Amino acid sequence: MITIIDYGLGNIQAFVNVYRRLHIPVSVAKCAADLDGATKLILPGVGAFDHAIERLDASGIRPALDELVQKAKIPVLGICVGMQILADSSDEGSLPGLGWVPGSVRSFKAIPQLSELPLPHMGWNDVVPSADSALFKGFELESRFYFLHSFFFDCLQPQHIAATSSYGLDFSCAVRADNVYGVQFHPEKSHHFGVGLLKNFAEL
């Protein structure tokens, strides 16, 4: 069962609609009890880093998520800010992240040579998957996704970079550490590329 975490951030229904069209069982979790039967988790998110962490804490679902992801090793996919909160910290806020993928979230404006870049980075962009990136199966020749962000995930260890994109510099737009996956772009807005990625996650 694909279970989408609803802590008040992100277009939950868009993911539900994709999986229903694919005839893949899907549910929505608003509390810890709703996680029963989950075999894969999706952690969406929009907005600011600290606000996302605060909302996740306020939902009461975080301890159960930690148990499922860290101990039971259930696959989880963080999306947009849901990916960023997988990190240890962020330039955008002061609260610690989940720490499931070692690294920090950095502002494009914090890079001196990028200080004049228009932000947010918005629109379609090419994505280059790593050689063994199961999320991107079938996209080896062409991979384009929709972005809307001003921060990027700076992985502490290069082996956790699952894909890169380019906006003034090459940046990690997808991460993976064991059973934890994250993508900066919006698969729910990326047409057949996004549908294919969400299907690949379901089939891991």
Question: Among residues 121, 149, 160, 186, which one is catalytic?
Answer: 186
Per the annotation, the verdict on 51 as an active-site residue is no
Q: How far apart are CA 180 and CA 177, in angstroms?
A: 5
Cβ of 16: how many Cβ atoms within 10 Å? 18
pTM for the whole thing? 0.95
Q: What is the domain class of 2-202 according to CATH?
A: alpha beta
Residue 174 bridge partners (DSSP) = 163, 183
Question: Among residues 80, 155, 160, 173, which one is catalytic?
Answer: 80
Per the annotation, the verdict on 80 as an active-site residue is yes
Question: Among residues 31, 188, 191, 192, which one is catalytic?
Answer: 188
pLDDT digits (tens, 9 = 90+) for 138-152: 887 789 999 999 999
Per the annotation, the verdict on 31 as an active-site residue is no
Could you say which DSSP state residue 136 is in? G
**Strand extents, DSSP E, the chain:** 2-5, 26-29, 40-43, 76-79, 89-90, 103-107, 121-126, 128-129, 144-149, 151-155, 161-166, 170-177, 180-183
pLDDT digits (tens, 9 = 90+) for 48-102: 999 999 999 999 999 999 999 999 999 999 999 999 999 999 999 999 999 999 9
